[in-house]
Amino acid sequence: MAEAPLRVLVVDDEPMARARLRRMLGAEHGVHVLGECATGESAAEAISTLKPDVVFLDIQMPRVDGFGALHLASTVWRPRVVFVTAFAEHAVDAFETGAVDYLLKPYSRERLRRALERVRSSLQRDAGDAVRRYLERLPVPVGHRLRMVPVQSIDCVVAQLNYVELHVGAEHLVLRETMAAMEAQLDPGQFVRIHRSRIVRIAAVTEIETLVSGQYVARLASGLRLATGPSYRERMREAFGLRTG
């Protein structure tokens, strides 16, 4: 069976830079360019809707830069990222966001091919490891940067209007995401949704109280107490091995 082509999104505010990269990618075997974007805002939307395998992403763009585009994009779909820039000083920040590669303009065809090889290798590693279907680190916007939060440090996730609040020890980090999207990203062997607005990390629960109503209250190591919703009691029982009756 033929290998599926690599689905690519090109993002750069310079038309000539976009055109050059599209030509170079078009000459490579097994690469399909889904589209191109000239702004960080449109890139964030395209990442969420087109779901590319990899984004070749410029860093310095007006209004919303490359890092900002990743902030705005939904965390449900996180493509591989190859940053493309004329400035070497952003490399450390780029790799801290989990970038696969960092291309300095002007780059050669050979250097572009090496970047594509790294993307394919990264995708193959994840395809061969079932555990990697779930996030190990969650990118959370903090100021103008993405903070990579290990999911093992998250005690619980609580819905707050159009956002979710991540409880990480004494910290409360805010992320623009839905509960359904969060649940889909977290390993069900480590996290359980106990209420339509609450997800807890199983290992963070130190005590479980059973109420007269049949509901459960989970007490976390932080001291926080979270009650289950009526339709989530069975999930709670399964996750913690609780007996009925």
pLDDT tens-digit map of 189-214: 899 999 999 999 999 999 999 888 88
Whether 1 is in a domain gets the answer: no
Distance of CA 14 to the CA centre of its chain: 27
Range(s) of the domain holding residue 182: 137-240
Please tell me the predicted confidence (pLDDT) of residue 129: 53
144/67 Cα distance (integer angstroms): 7
Alpha-carbon distance of 207 to 239, in angstroms, equals 13
Q: What is the mean pLDDT of the chain?
A: 87
Which residues, other chains included, contact 154 with Cβ-Cβ below 8 Å and sequence gap of 6+?
138, 166, 167, 168, 201
Q: Average pLDDT in the 101-119 region?
A: 92
221 and 126 co-located in one domain: no
| Domain stops at, among 132, 158, 178 | 132
Considering the domain architecture, whether residues 88 and 201 belong to the same structural domain is answered as no
N-term to C-term CA, the chain: 53
Is the predicted pLDDT of residue 1 greater than 50, yes or no?
no
Contact 199, 186 (CB under 8 A): yes
Instruction: Give the pLDDT of residue 130.
Output: 45
Residue pair 167/147 in contact by the 8 Å Cβ criterion: no
Question: Does residue 245 lie within any of the structural domains?
Answer: no
Task: Measure CA 104 to chain center.
Answer: 25
Same domain membership, residue 146 and residue 127: no
Round to whole Å and give the CA distance between 41 and 151.
27
Percent of residues, the chain, with pLDDT higher than 70: 92
Q: What is the per-residue pLDDT across 165-192, written as a single tens digit (0 to 9) for each? A: 999 998 999 988 888 888 888 888 899 9
Q: Which residues contact 193 (CB under 8 A, 6 or more apart)?
A: 179, 183, 199, 232, 235
- pLDDT tens digit sequence for 133-148: 678 888 888 887 888 8
Total of domains in the chain: 2
> For residue 173, what are its two tokens?
């980090």
Domain boundary among 102, 132, 162: 132
How far apart (Å, rounded) are the C-alpha atoms in residues 166 and 157?
Answer: 5
The enclosing H or E element of 103 equals: strand 101-104
